[in-house]
Amino acid sequence: MTTLGMAELTSPLGDVTAVWHDDRLCSLAFSEHWHSVQRALQRRFGTVERVASPHAAALRRSLNAYFDGVLDALDGLAVDPGGTPFQQAVWSALRRVPPGETTTYASLARAIGAPTAVRAVGAANGANPIWLVIPCHRAIGSDGRLVGYAGGLERKRWLLDHERRLHRASA
Which residues form the catalytic set? 136
d(CA 120, CA 53) in angstroms, rounded, equals: 33
Cα 56 to Cα 43, 53, 65, 151, distances in angstroms: 24, 6, 14, 21
What single-letter amino acid sits at 80? D
Whether the CA torsion 20, 15, 73, 127 is positive or negative: it is positive
